[in-house]
Amino acid sequence: MKSLAELQAIREKTLGKISMRKDADESTRIVIGMATCGIAAGARPVMLKFMDEIQTRGLQNVTVSQTGCIGMCRLEPMLDVLVPGKEKVTYVKVKPEMVSRIVAEHIVNGRPVQEYTIGAAE
């Protein structure tokens, strides 16, 4: 840091990040299981595809995060979509080529893709 202006820029950037965290309670969250079993089953390319799809579409108030083991290794890669005010939807055996449809139908239009959900897998 060489000037007060640089310090002010860092402060504003940090405050912006804090503000984004507050807004996360009001945003749609996509939580991907990234424990060893999820990664081995292909969760990393799925997560990257979600991030790319959301950025490409310019979607606001959508966050992608990761979690540890969800507990059903045979159904990995797994992810939850949490939309404020709605029930959690769990997708199973997700492949990168499924992501565009999940984003278009569920995230954008509010209609979960039933054949990709945990209810359809059992």
pLDDT of 85-101, one tens digit each?
999 999 999 999 999 99
Indicate the DSSP class of residue 61. Answer: S
Domain holding 111: CATH number?
3.40.30.10
Report the first-to-last Cα separation within the chain, whole angstroms. Answer: 57
**19 lies in a domain?**
no
**77 lies in a domain?**
yes
| Predicted TM-score (pTM) above 0.85 | no
**112 lies in a domain?**
yes
d(CA 76, CA 38): 5
What confidence score (pLDDT) does residue 9 get?
Answer: 83
Q: Which two tokens stand for residue 22?
A: 């507050």
d(CA 12, CA 34): 32
What confidence score (pLDDT) does residue 20 get?
Answer: 46
Task: Report residue 51: phi and psi, to 5°.
Answer: -60, -40
**15 lies in a domain?**
no
What confidence score (pLDDT) does residue 21 get?
Answer: 47
**2 lies in a domain?**
no
**70 lies in a domain?**
yes
Coil, strand or helix at 32: strand
In 1-122, which residue ranges form alpha helices assigned H by DSSP? 4-23, 36-41, 43-57, 96-101, 118-121
12-22 burial: b if 16+ Cβ within 10 Å, else e: eeeeeeeeeee
Domains of the chain: total: 1
* Low pLDDT (below 70) residues in the chain: 1, 15-25, 120-122
